[in-house]
């Protein structure tokens, strides 16, 4: 058995988690995921300002406190904190170890950076970052060469778990089922405390004031048990694991550079308190291309929030909108987006409760158009608009926004390289066998629910949900808690029903996937998030709360379920 823990789900996660995971119980490997689509843009801007940067500086500070502890306990560290500069982070770790009187074998993985070869790879110009998602075998090669710490650039999040597992159990590219099981375990771990109750739909059932971080007990066949250190907060249940399995996935085929894991084969079973077993995962050969994430500056944006209080909210909003747009005139930015949030309550006992928010978001390639003209147009109405006019804050000068998009490249054009602790460089070959991602047959629906009386109630009374972003698309997974609920959910929550419940998605392409083993339906909503989180085209730019909005919507639910 190999015990792999996670201590970071994003750049900015709980700083003390690394030390806590090392001291709260035994581990063989500690991982940390620091990279998201938005993070790559942040690191690209760091690197542009200083070529020696481009990595997650937080991790280096965490190692100042915990590197000696990890070495003393024999725990290997595997993180993607190298970001856009894994070689420099590896060198900084060696310097840190020397300063602390330690001898630490540090390896790193590189080759994901496509910017030097952007033109020959057919990528567009003007990119700040372009990175292929590498797989697990560069990490495994470093560990087999004796590395005690491995830092990577852009690898798949699940590779942080699959790499150590492949090294420990001796898996090769042909061990597809075992790799798929490790990838699924890695996907559960990658977002840290989301697997132990964080962001969980039924959060009132557990003490989530300070959830612990998750652990996967990996076995040689790829099966695992998800758990956490004893005595830490939160909970590990089939529900918390189901929620994370549905997060940011698109259909039953979960594709990666090493293997395509079949999420429709996953079996979850309770294995005792705070223990959930994952088994029977099947794997297929990976697709013939590698996914790459591209980040560029999209232009400039600004935002103004006007407060509307009391009566005639709609009329006040209409007047303000007309006045601002009239004042902008020829200086009007390329994009204007108005949203009115009716946060007001009638006969409210407090002024804030009596107020609504009218938000204006503007975007333009020219910074000058989103700054002074917008500020002047809004502030200039202070004494000449609707009664009670004021802003939440003065408008700023505008800020750059980023655009993320995915591209797909030939693996042969990507030199996936493991750099061993002694400096030896080993090129990692692409997967020897690939398989195109063909659509799966739609699984049969379960038997329809038994007819009976219904009652109007929120969907969240009987179903959980978890949502998130993939570039400009939103993922929304919904699961039932028992078989009766699953029969009703599968027949009721269709694409058309989703469009009716969530009017914002009514005109967008929506795909529904059934995952009967998880009693879940998983939706992909194309284009809801525009050009991705960095573009911030929506109130909830990462669709984090899309699932909770859906759960709050009312529909006719069988009384037997309620």
pLDDT averaged per 10 residues in sequence order, the chain, 562 residues = 98 97 98 92 90 95 98 98 97 98 97 90 88 98 98 98 98 98 98 97 95 98 98 98 95 96 98 98 98 92 96 98 96 95 96 97 95 94 97 91 91 96 98 94 92 96 95 95 97 98 96 97 94 76 95 97 95
The distance of Cα 232 from the centroid of its chain, to the nearest Å, equals: 24
In angstroms, rounded to a whole number, what is the distance separating the alpha carbons of residues 371 and 301?
A: 8
Cβ–Cβ contacts within 10 Å for residue 52, how many? 12
Distances (CA, A) of 289 to 115, 118, 413, 431, 559: 18, 16, 10, 10, 49
Structure tokens given for 529 = 């998030």
> Helix 238-246 crosses helix 176-189 at what angle (to 10 degrees)?
100
- The pLDDT, as a whole number, for residue 360 is 96
Which residues pair with residue 300 across a beta bridge?
Answer: 364, 400
Distances (CA, A) of 96 to 62, 63, 139, 476: 11, 8, 21, 42
Which residues pair with residue 355 across a beta bridge?
Answer: 309
Which residues pair with residue 224 across a beta bridge?
Answer: 218, 278
In angstroms, rounded to a whole number, what is the distance separating the alpha carbons of residues 475 and 465?
A: 10
Domains and CATH numbers, the chain: 2-289+410-427 (no CATH), 299-403 (3.30.70), 454-558 (no CATH)
Q: What is the CA radius of gyration of the chain?
A: 25
DSSP string across 7-72: --SSTTS-TTHHHHHHHSS--SEEEE----HHHHHHHHHHHHH-TT--S-HHHHHHHHHHHHHHHH
Predicted TM-score (pTM) of this structure: 0.94
- The pLDDT, as a whole number, for residue 538 is 81
Distances (CA, A) of 44 to 83, 84, 129, 131, 482: 9, 7, 6, 11, 46
Which residues pair with residue 390 across a beta bridge?
Answer: 307
DSSP string across 403-446: EEEEEEE-GGGS--EEE-TTS-EEEPPPPSS----PPPPPPPPP
Helix or strand holding residue 306 (H, E): strand 290-309
DSSP code for 233: B
- The pLDDT, as a whole number, for residue 119 is 81
**Closest Cα partner for 518 from 320, 349, 276, 172?**
276
Put the strands of the sheet holding 463-470 in their side by side order.
463-470, 473-480, 520-525, 510-515
Find out whether 192 and 244 touch, Cβ atoms under 8 Å: no
Strands (E), 202-286: 214-218, 224-228, 253-255, 260-262, 267-270, 276-279, 282-284
**Phi, psi (5° rounding) for residue 375?**
-60, -45
Cβ–Cβ contacts within 10 Å for residue 75, how many? 20
The distance of Cα 217 from the centroid of its chain, to the nearest Å, equals: 23
Helix or strand holding residue 500 (H, E): helix 495-501
Number of H helices, E strands in the chain: 14, 26
Structure tokens given for 390 = 């004021």
Structure tokens given for 383 = 């004494």
In angstroms, rounded to a whole number, what is the distance separating the alpha carbons of residues 55 and 43?
A: 6
């Amino acid at each position: 058995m190999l015990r792999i823990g996670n201590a970071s789900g994003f750049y900015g996660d709980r700083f003390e988690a690394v030390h806590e995971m090392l001291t709260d119980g035994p581990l063989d490997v500690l991982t940390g995921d620091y990279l998201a689509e938005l993070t790559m843009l942040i690191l690209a801007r760091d690197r542009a300002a200083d070529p020696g940067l481009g990595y997650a500086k937080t991790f280096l500070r965490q190692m100042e406190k915990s590197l000696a502890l990890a070495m003393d306990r024999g725990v290997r560290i595997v993180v993607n904190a190298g970001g856009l500069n894994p070689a420099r982070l590896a060198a900084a770790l060696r310097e840190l170890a020397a300063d602390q009187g330690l001898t630490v074998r540090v390896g790193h993985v590189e080759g994901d950076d496509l910017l030097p070869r952007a033109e020959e790879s057919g990528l567009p110009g003007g990119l700040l970052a372009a990175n292929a998602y590498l797989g697990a075998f560069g990490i495994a090669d470093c560990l087999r060469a004796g590395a005690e710490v491995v830092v990577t650039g852009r690898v798949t999040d699940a590779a942080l778990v699959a790499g150590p597992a492949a090294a420990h159990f001796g898996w090769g590219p042909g061990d597809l089922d075992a790799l798929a099981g490790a990838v699924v375990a890695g996907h559960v771990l990658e977002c840290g405390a989301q697997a132990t109750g964080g962001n969980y739909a039924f959060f009132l059932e557990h003490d989530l004031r300070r959830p612990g971080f998750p652990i996967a007990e990996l076995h040689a066949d790829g099966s695992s048990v998800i758990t956490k250190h004893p005595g830490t907060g939160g909970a590990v249940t089939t529900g918390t694991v189901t929620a994370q399995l549905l997060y940011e996935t698109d259909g039953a085929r979960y594709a990666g550079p090493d293997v395509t894991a079949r999420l429709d084969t996953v079996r979850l079973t309770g294995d005792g308190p705070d223990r959930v077993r994952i088994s029977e995962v099947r794997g297929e050969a990976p697709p013939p291309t590698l996914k790459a994430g591209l980040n560029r500056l999209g232009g400039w944006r600004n935002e103004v929030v006007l407060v509307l209080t009391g009566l005639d909210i709609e009329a006040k909003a209409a007047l303000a909108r007309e006045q601002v747009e009239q004042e902008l005139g020829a200086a009007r930015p390329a994009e204007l987006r108005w949203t009115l949030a009716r946060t007001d309550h009638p006969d409210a006992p407090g002024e804030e409760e009596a107020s609504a928010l009218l938000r204006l978001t503007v975007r333009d390639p020219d910074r000058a158009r989103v700054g002074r003209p917008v500020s002047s147009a809004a502030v200039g109405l202070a004494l000449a608009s609707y009664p009670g006019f004021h802003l939440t804050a003065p408008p700023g000068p505008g800020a750059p926004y980023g655009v993320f998009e995915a591209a797909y490249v030939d693996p042969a054009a990507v030199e996936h390289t493991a750099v061993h602790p002694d400096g030896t460089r080993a090129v990692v070959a692409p997967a020897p066998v690939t398989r195109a991602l063909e659509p799966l047959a739609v699984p049969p629906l379960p038997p329809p629910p038994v007819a009976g009386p219904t009652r109007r109630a929120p969907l969240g009374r009987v179903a959980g949900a978890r949502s998130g972003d993939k570039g400009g698309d939103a993922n929304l997974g919904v699961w039932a808690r028992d078989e009766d609920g699953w029969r009703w959910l599968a027949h009721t929550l269709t694409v058309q029903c989703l469009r009716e419940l969530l009017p914002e998605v009514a005109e967008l392409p929506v795909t529904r996937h059934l995952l009967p083993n998880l009693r879940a339906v998983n939706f992909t909503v194309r284009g809801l998030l525009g050009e991705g989180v960095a573009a911030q085209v929506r109130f909830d730019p990462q669709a984090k709360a899309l699932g909770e909005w859906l759960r709050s919507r009312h529909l006719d639910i069988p009384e037997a379920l309620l």
